[in-house]
Amino acid sequence: MQSGGCTAVINQSLAGIITSYQHIAPKSRIYGADHGIEGILSGNIHDITDISSEGIKSVGSSPGSALGSTRRKLLPTDTDTIFNLLDRHKIQTFHIIGGNDSATTGLTFQKEAESIGYKLTIVNVPKTIDNDLVQTDHCPGYGSSARFVAQATLGAGRDALAMGISSPITIMEVMGRDAGWLAASASLYKRNNFDPPHYIGVPEIPLDEEKFLIQMEHAYREYGYAVAVVAENVKGINGIIGEQTEPWFTDDFGHPYYEGPSRYLAEQVTKKLGVRCRYEKPGTIQRSLMDSVSKTDSNEAFEIGREASLRAETGQTGIIMCLDRKSGPVYECSPSTAILEDVAGKVRLMPDEFLNVELASLGNTTEEFKNYLEPLTGAPLDIPKYLIEN
């Protein structure tokens, strides 16, 4: 099943799983749950064993979650229904393609299967544009979304500079519930102080509104434009940014959703500087734009799905696939595993060697982070120079 927010390459992992099982377990049947737990509870699972190679290729290159995703939490009352369905279809291997919450779901499945004596092999396949799973160098889906954010930041900066006095400042709000990996990727193409962004707001660092406004004014006065990139869940010194104190929605896993900080911050900038400040919220576009898919990301997503099936066939269970980066000047990653219990419920924040308060306030990250990020986004971008630079 597929679970949580989609990524641009989540279907490549599905394609890798199907392709592998068609070869290594030709007498077995492969089922896909329609919208994850919801489909399993309703008995709505589909036999996808005989999908053609052309069909698999088409699925792998498509946006969204081909099986349908879900954010429904597994409840204790679901157990009997779910395991009755698994038993009815003689299902003995279960792959969950998802992020942190899906790791928790996989762990719950494992413990429940053990408690009732049901033989079930569980191998999770990671995905999240938030890039916040522990025990892995990075997460499938992150490289493509980071590529989008980096390019969108560069483009937004060129646009703001070109528009001049009519709308010279832009605030872009990107995804990132608990960690700033995606917002930080906005700095990939920043070569100097003139280049965008001029401020990065991440959940790890409280946003000081007064200092933020001072930095936006400084960038605008100094360079003729200003761009800030903030994570959707960045907090202020006193908590939620803006006037909204209560979430407009809370999902089954207890994650609160707020309006986001960009609109409020744009209003404050406009009031302070007296010029128009745009706010942009690319939303799901940042995780679904196929033109921004990183070849590295796509290939790794397929390979980690394929490898998950191989690990399951050897009897490994209660694990989640990971990516290990080899040291050295040439980028190379290989699949590995971690125990679900070591991943579920944990969040990997950005380390200080990648981002700190001073750099974020200037819209930048360390060269170490950029070296970490660039190969994940695919081929480097050839950045044309501005006609006018300070």
Share of the chain above pLDDT 90, in %: 88
pLDDT tops 70 at residue 6:
yes
Q: What is the pLDDT of residue 121?
A: 98
Considering only CA atoms, which of 183, 191, 102, 175 is closest in space to residue 150?
A: 183
Q: Give residue for tokens 């200037």.
A: 362
> Is 130 one of the annotated active-site residues of the chain?
yes
In the 8-state DSSP scheme, what is residue 89? Answer: T
Long-range contacts of 74-79 (CB under 8 A, 24+ apart): 74/37, 74/105, 74/108, 74/109, 78/37, 78/41, 79/112, 79/116
Confidence grade of residue 113 (pLDDT, cut at 50, 70, 90): very high
Backbone angles phi, psi at 166, to 5 degrees: -70, -35
For residue 61, pLDDT beyond 80: yes
Task: Give mean pLDDT, residues 285-302.
Answer: 96
The mean pLDDT of 173-193, rounded to a whole number, is 95
C-alpha angle with apex 296: 294 to 373, nearest 5 degrees?
A: 80
pLDDT tier at 177, thresholds 50, 70, 90: confident
Average pLDDT over residues 67-95: 94
Helix/strand/coil for 87: helix
Q: How many CA atoms lie within 13 A of 211 on its CB side?
A: 15
What's the pLDDT score for residue 286?
Answer: 96
Structure tokens at 341: 């219990």
Q: Is the pLDDT of residue 188 over 80?
A: yes
Angle subtended by helix axes 295-313 and 10-24, to nearest 10: 40
7 neighbors 145 (Cβ within 8 angstroms): yes
Mean pLDDT of 326-331: 92
Residue-wise burial string across 144-175, b where 16 or more C-beta atoms lie within 10 A, e elsewhere:
bbbbbbbbbbbebbebbbeeeeebbbbbbbbb
Give dist(CA 369, CA 358) in Å, integer.
15
Q: What is the pLDDT of residues 269-290, one digit of tens each?
A: 999 999 999 999 999 999 999 9
Look at residue 126 and tell me whether its pLDDT is greater than 60: yes
Q: Smallest Cα–Cα separation from 130: which of 97, 103, 99, 106?
A: 99
Give the number of other Cβ atoms within 10 Å of residue 191's Cβ.
9
What pLDDT is attached to residue 183?
Answer: 98
- The dihedral formed by the CA atoms of 214, 220, 223 and 228, expressed in degrees to the nearest 10: 80
d(CA 355, CA 231): 14
Q: What is the pLDDT of residue 277?
A: 97
Residue 256 has a pLDDT of 66
Of the pLDDT bands very low, low, confident and very high (cuts 50, 70, 90), residue 249 is low
pLDDT band at 325 (very low <50, low <70, confident <90, very high): very high
pLDDT at 240: 84
In the chain, what are the domains?
Answer: 10-140+292-342 (3.40.50.450), 145-290+348-376 (3.40.50.460)
Of 233, 37, 57, nearest to 130 by C-alpha is: 233
Residue 205 predicted with pLDDT over 90? yes
Specify the pLDDT at position 260. 79
Helices (H), the chain: 10-24, 37-42, 53-60, 79-88, 100-116, 142-163, 181-184, 209-223, 262-273, 295-313, 357-361, 367-373
The reported pTM is 0.94
Find the angle CA(203)-CA(226)-CA(269) to the nearest 5 degrees: 70
Per-residue confidence (pLDDT) for residue 236, from 0 to 100: 92
Output the pLDDT for position 247: 67
Radius of gyration of the chain from its Cα atoms, rounded to whole angstroms: 22
In the predicted structure, residue 216 carries a pLDDT above the cut 90? yes
Q: Locate tokens 């280049």: which residue?
A: 195
- Residue in 101, 130, 195, 297 annotated catalytic: 130
